Structure 1
Amino acid sequence: MKTATSQIRPAMVLGVMACLTFAAGTVPLTSSAQDNRTIATGSNIPLSADAPNEYVVKPGDTLWDISKIYLRDPWYWPEIWYLNPQVANPHLIYPGDVLKLIYIDGQPRLTVAERGGDGSQRLQPQVRREPLSRAITAVPYDVIAGFASRPVLLDKDQVEKAPYVVALRGDHMIGATGNEIYAKGIGDAAAEARYSIIHVDGKLRDPENNDVLGYTGIYVGAGPVAATGDPAKLILTETSREALQGDKLFPEVTDVKDDFVPHAPTSDVQATVIAVREATVMGQYQLIALNRGSSAGLEPGHILAVLERGEVVRDKYKKGGLGAAGNATLKSGSKVQLPDERIGLVMIFSTTPRMSYALVMESQKEIRQGDSARNP
């Protein structure tokens, strides 16, 4: 899976903004928040009515969590974060840090008042990308890493370039746990490196022109490289369905970029949901794919609102009649398109030129293929 390319560290939030570049000691800071935390204070930043004056960052917090504590609309985070030049690594937020809500020239700003974390983290003995600190991220690292290591929505280029199962040892037609398979295209993968096997299934098409943008994938199983080369030999140590010739391989441990922050797109976005991870009710951190990508200006961290298309109903009362009363039929009356209804928020975490992957952050009802995604 292609990974996000944003180089913004968690909570760096657009440090180039002029409003965040005050030098220490040149701007008077007030240590307490104003009582009326609404847009009516003269600020364009929609603070939560119960935003606390101080908040101690907890292990497991995400940037989205903290944004929701202080903002009615979390994508305004870049507007409120204040880079305190007196604090080491002011771009990052760690568990134990004390955040304080202050006002500068009447505008609410959130800053690190006291460092509580040491900014260090012992790396785990795994071949995986780990943050070099315990700095919080926009969403849990394991959520994105899980989608990357077992991809179920695949872009077209990703599928075409991925290694694949060329044969199964012992004249097997299908593979199961304990079987050995041969894969082409792995390259110089190290012995014992683990790969997920994904069966490529249905096509993901752009509803506007019917172009194939990608494919759905079905997780087959996983296993380590037993013998390097091309083809390489792998042993299936787990399977959830049969492995077949042509199935694709993806590294089980993937370099995942998670250093982005929630923010609204700067240009108008008109996208369509072309796939969901599962045909079930959507919950937080479930995956969707959109038919817009980096060529449309989307980038990791962008927040979009998802809208359910309004129903088409019959207006049987336009002429002042009694509608269904009398001889009216179900098909009588002109058609009326009801307005689209907002049903959730999603955050982009990875893009290709023509497609994006997003995580559901909030949803009021099931998000379906064909729903639209717009600026929040």
Structure 2
Amino acid sequence: MKKLRSAERQRPSFLATLTALAVLGSCGATTAWAQNYPVTPQQRATAQQTAQTGVPLSELSPNAPDEYTVKPGDTLWAISRLYLLRPWRWPELWGMNLDEIANPHRIYPGQVLYLDKTGGRARLTTTRRGGFSGDGGTIKLSPRTRFDSLAGMALPTLNPSIIEPFLSEPIVVDADTLESAPRIVAGNDNRVLLSRGDRAYARGNANSPLVEAPGPVQHFRVFRNATPLKDPGTGEILGYEAQYLGKAQLQRGESTTVETVEDKDVITVVPATVDIIASREEIRAGDRLLPEPPRQLLSYVPRAPSTQVDGRIISVYGNAVQFAAQNQVVAINKGTRDGIDSGHVLAILKNGETIVDRTGARKETIKLPNERIGLLMVFRTFAKVSYALVLEINDTPRAGDFLVNP
């Protein structure tokens, strides 16, 4: 028990190490950040020990089941909520393999989760304590389902129908990215406004014409005027959020023709031909094309950030939307440069109003306290900005509200 209490005292170090390890094993975009937080052998040993000890029984939800069969449609967050009062402590409950902290340890529909509550601690496993059980030491064999590690079957962290569109639709770019992207120059039959099923013509820039590439048919996303995302506290422009309009498919690449007129060669540009295959809003000349990224549905572990976060909500995703509802997406002013990673859970604090106190002997300006009103989870990160899903609220979050560790 002495070692156990020691591990508990080092829990902040464990969480810092756990997340640092996660970032060390993730994409290159966060590697630079991770290098600022070296993991010492002692920290790694502490993390490995603590990851196997589980959480105190006091952290369990009162209705946490001893046995649960994962169902199609379940999410990692929902199961975390089922078992824990603070779902972001899921890595400790699950005893995550540190090398695989970036995914939910290959949890699939059909698996049975067993809650082990021995020694005053709780851990969740896929093996019943003591093996498959049997009377008198006899092992009882029964048909079992074999689970293959298929990424497409893995349990998602959040509801795919809610976040999947935002994995490709919103994009944060720098000031020059859209300006240099291919642009739509005209619609077929002089159409000014284009929608699904219409044909359009597009051009690249002088150094990078829009041409066909070997392999599958090229698909593009269509964007319009990027809106600056300003930090509510400092006013710094953190990036530009491009307005998603729809999707286009390249039919023919851009080319040139040469015609001799009066003994002179006249070069004429023939724009590329694209078909609009999806549209959220009407598309027009001047809108920009960016390559369609590969489809991905990330499975990551809900967890608290390893370092202190002092963030703000920049905006609520959508046209002229000021307030956020549950299951709505918001942009926040923290990104990979601040150590934010997909799966990080943050608490939302309502920005207390500044009012005039007229109840005393003289008028006095006071600020009401910031109140905790909900939780959000980051699911897509950029250098200075991230997108997060509002998970739970008991009031209405809005742009400017504060974000802190849960």
TM over 0.5: yes
> Are residue 119 (structure 1) and residue 147 (structure 2) matched?
yes
Q: 1:345 aligns with which of 375, 380, 402?
A: 375
Aligned residue identity for 2:252: A
For residues 1-376 of structure 1, what are the structure 2 equivalents within 5 Å?
A: 17-20=48-51, 43=56, 46-82=59-95, 91-113=105-127, 118-120=146-148, 132-151=151-170, 154-156=172-174, 159-160=177-178, 163-169=181-187, 172=190, 174-177=192-195, 178-184=198-204, 188=213, 190=215, 192-229=217-254, 232-252=272-292, 254-256=294-296, 258-278=298-318, 279=321, 282-319=324-361, 333-376=363-406
Secondary structure of the residue that 2:117 maps to in structure 1? strand
Q: Distance in 2 between matches of 1:214 and 1:108?
A: 43
Aligned residue identity for 1:247: D
Q: Distance in 2 between matches of 1:162 and 1:284?
A: 36
String of CA shifts for 1:109-167, please: whole Å, max 9, x gaps: 1111379754359xxxxxxxxx634120211344433113322x524279448733142
Superposed CA RMSD: 3.5
Aligned residue identity for 1:338: L
Secondary structure of the residue that 1:266 maps to in structure 2? coil
Residue 196 of structure 1 deviates from its aligned partner by 2.5
Q: Contact 1:145/1:254 (CA < 8 Å) preserved in 2?
A: no
Residue 264 of structure 1 deviates from its aligned partner by 0.4
Does 209-218 or 168-177 show the bigger shift? 168-177
Q: Contact 2:89/2:303 (CA < 8 Å) preserved in 1?
A: yes
How many residues get paired? Answer: 324
String of CA shifts for 1:284-318, please: whole Å, max 9, x gaps: 43211111111111111110011111112222233
Normalised to the residue count of structure 1, the TM-score between the two structures is: 0.74
Q: Contact 1:288/1:357 (CA < 8 Å) preserved in 2?
A: yes
Residue 334 of structure 1 deviates from its aligned partner by 0.5
Secondary structure of the residue that 1:105 maps to in structure 2? helix
Misfit runs of 4+, over 6 Å: none
Overall identity of the aligned pairs, in %: 32
Residue 170 of structure 1 deviates from its aligned partner by 5.4
Structure 1: runs of 5 or more not aligned: 9-13, 23-28, 30-38, 122-130, 320-331
String of CA shifts for 1:196-250, please: whole Å, max 9, x gaps: 2121243211233323222343332323211135764211234344323442324
Aligned residue identity for 2:172: L
Secondary structure of the residue that 1:101 maps to in structure 2? strand
Q: Distance in 2 between matches of 1:174 and 1:143?
A: 32
Aligned residue identity for 2:201: I
Q: Contact 1:281/1:365 (CA < 8 Å) preserved in 2?
A: no
Q: Contact 1:222/1:237 (CA < 8 Å) preserved in 2?
A: yes
Q: Distance in 2 between matches of 1:312 and 1:173?
A: 52
Structure 2: runs of 5 or more not aligned: 1-21, 27-43, 98-102, 129-142, 256-270
**Which has a greater percent of helix?**
2
Secondary structure of the residue that 1:221 maps to in structure 2? strand
Change (3 A) 1:300 1:157: farther
Aligned residue identity for 1:49: P
Change (3 A) 1:238 1:227: same
Q: Distance in 1 between matches of 2:345 and 2:77?
A: 11
String of CA shifts for 1:171-195, please: whole Å, max 9, x gaps: 8473413131214266637564332
